[in-house]
């Protein structure tokens, strides 16, 4: 009997060793670069398939190439930096001179930790505060309140803080001469995730998107996903308004929280947000506090 048990234990150990030696699955799509306008590129990937069956990838990076260097927007996770640099070398030999962070999340600003030496990183002041509070490495040394400009090689790139939304420090980066913005996670190819721990707000977000739509642009590089048009952003805002209005109606009818949040899950189908890369994150991390925010704004 003892020998049988030893044999079974040996089999289990061999099976465990075999599992640990299996190579990690290849990403659904690798890190890749695409041209947006002349001397403006964006980098996506790597994409992996999540539990929801959808491809998930860290934040989109933008590159404005000038004769004197590169102004880069966001830098994904720290581990993605070597692949970003590899993609950059396929379009230019110019060095990165400045990085603008759209917000503090590590899938957008994680690379700050290894890129801050010799490269100036700039962000809205709440980005720095969030990174310091969350003990996230590479917090920007240069910050601004409402707007900033970076000029390099005859090119000027603008950063605008238009209000709270995804977090309390989201910036919209504006390439005015090309009529293109990088909207960070204020606009993604999916539904919004409201990061209440870092100052996000559903009610303020729609006001921020109203401000964003006042900018003269026709193409938006989103925080995640494919390029968007201004009409795509308008459609995103319209869906957001519908979601806020629906929850407001439930709150005013005094529908209990558990019932109201269950109702909203079903309502997402009506606005096309029931199956996006950010839906599960919203449902797990935003939904309860979303109800609380709407309820606090409608106390009677």
Q: Kindly state the DSSP code that residue 47 receives in the 8-state scheme.
A: B
Residues 174, 41 within the same domain? yes
Residues 140, 282 within the same domain? no
**pLDDT tens-digit profile of 191-238?**
999 999 999 999 999 999 999 999 999 999 999 999 999 999 999 999
Of the candidates 134, 160, 164, the one whose C-alpha atom is nearest the C-alpha of residue 149 is 160
Residues 121, 269 within the same domain? no
Question: Which pLDDT score is estimated for 208?
Answer: 98
Residue 281's H or E segment, with its range, is helix 279-281
Task: Answer whether residue 19 is part of any domain.
Answer: no
Task: Answer whether residue 13 is part of any domain.
Answer: no
Question: Which pLDDT score is estimated for 25?
Answer: 52
Tell me the pairing of strands 55-56 and 32-37: unpaired
Cβ(260)–Cβ(247) below 8 Å = yes
The total domain count for the chain is 2
Question: Which pLDDT score is estimated for 28?
Answer: 81
**pLDDT tens-digit profile of 240-289?**
999 999 999 999 999 999 999 999 999 999 999 999 999 999 999 999 99
Residues 137, 92 within the same domain? yes
Question: Which pLDDT score is estimated for 139?
Answer: 96
Residues 114, 45 within the same domain? yes
Residues 216, 255 within the same domain? no
Task: Answer whether residue 163 is part of any domain.
Answer: yes
Q: Which domain holds residue 75?
A: 32-231
- pLDDT confidence tier of residue 116, bands split at 50, 70 and 90: confident
Residues 109, 188 within the same domain? yes
**pLDDT tens-digit profile of 5-17?**
434 434 444 444 4
pTM beyond 0.85 = yes
Among residues 209, 231, 253, the one where a domain terminates is 231
Task: Answer whether residue 114 is part of any domain.
Answer: yes
Question: Which pLDDT score is estimated for 24?
Answer: 52
Q: Cα 116 vs. chain centroid, distance in angstroms?
A: 20
Report the mean per-residue pLDDT for the chain.
Answer: 93
Of the candidates 69, 63, 57, the one whose C-alpha atom is nearest the C-alpha of residue 180 is 63
β-sheet bridge partners, residue 161: 171
Q: CA torsion 39→171→209→247, rounded to 10°?
A: 130
CA distances 112 to 71, 122, 168, Å, are 14, 10, 19
Residues 182, 58 within the same domain? yes
Which residues fall within 8 angstroms of residue 234, CB to CB, at 6 or more apart?
Answer: 213
Residues 57, 175 within the same domain? yes
Q: Which residue has the tokens 């079903």?
A: 266
């Amino acid at each position: 009997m003892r020998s049988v048990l030893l044999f079974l234990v040996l089999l289990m150990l061999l099976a465990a060793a075999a599992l640990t030696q299996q190579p990690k699955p290849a990403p659904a799509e690798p890190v890749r670069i695409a041209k947006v306008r002349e001397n403006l590129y964006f980098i996506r990937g790597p994409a992996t398939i999540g539990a929801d069956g959808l491809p998930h990838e860290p934040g989109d990076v933008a590159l404005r190439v000038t004769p004197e260097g590169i102004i880069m927007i966001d830098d994904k996770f720290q581990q993605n930096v070597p692949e970003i640099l590899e993609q950059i070398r396929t379009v230019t030999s110019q060095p990165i001179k400045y990085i603008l962070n759209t917000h503090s999340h590590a899938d957008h600003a994680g690379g700050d930790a290894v890129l801050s030496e010799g490269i100036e990183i700039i962000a809205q002041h709440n980005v720095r505060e969030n990174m310091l509070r969350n003990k996230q490495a590479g917090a920007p040394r240069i910050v601004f309140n409402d707007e900033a400009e970076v000029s390099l090689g005859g090119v000027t790139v603008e950063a605008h803080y238009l209000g709270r939304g995804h977090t309390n420090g989201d910036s919209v980066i504006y390439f005015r001469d090309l009529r293109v913005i990088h909207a960070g996670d204020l606009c993604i190819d999916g539904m919004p995730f409201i990061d209440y721990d870092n100052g996000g707000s559903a009610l303020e977000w729609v006001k921020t998107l109203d401000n964003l739509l006042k900018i003269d642009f026709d193409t938006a590089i989103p925080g995640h996903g494919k390029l968007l048009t201004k009409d795509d952003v308008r459609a995103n805002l319209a869906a957001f308004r519908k979601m806020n209005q629906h929850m407001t109606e439930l709150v005013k009818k005094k529908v209990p929280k558990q019932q109201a949040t269950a109702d909203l899950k079903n309502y997402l189908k009506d606005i096309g947000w029931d199956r996006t890369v950010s839906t599960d994150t919203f449902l797990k991390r935003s939904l309860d506090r979303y109800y609380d925010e709407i309820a606090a704004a409608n106390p009677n």
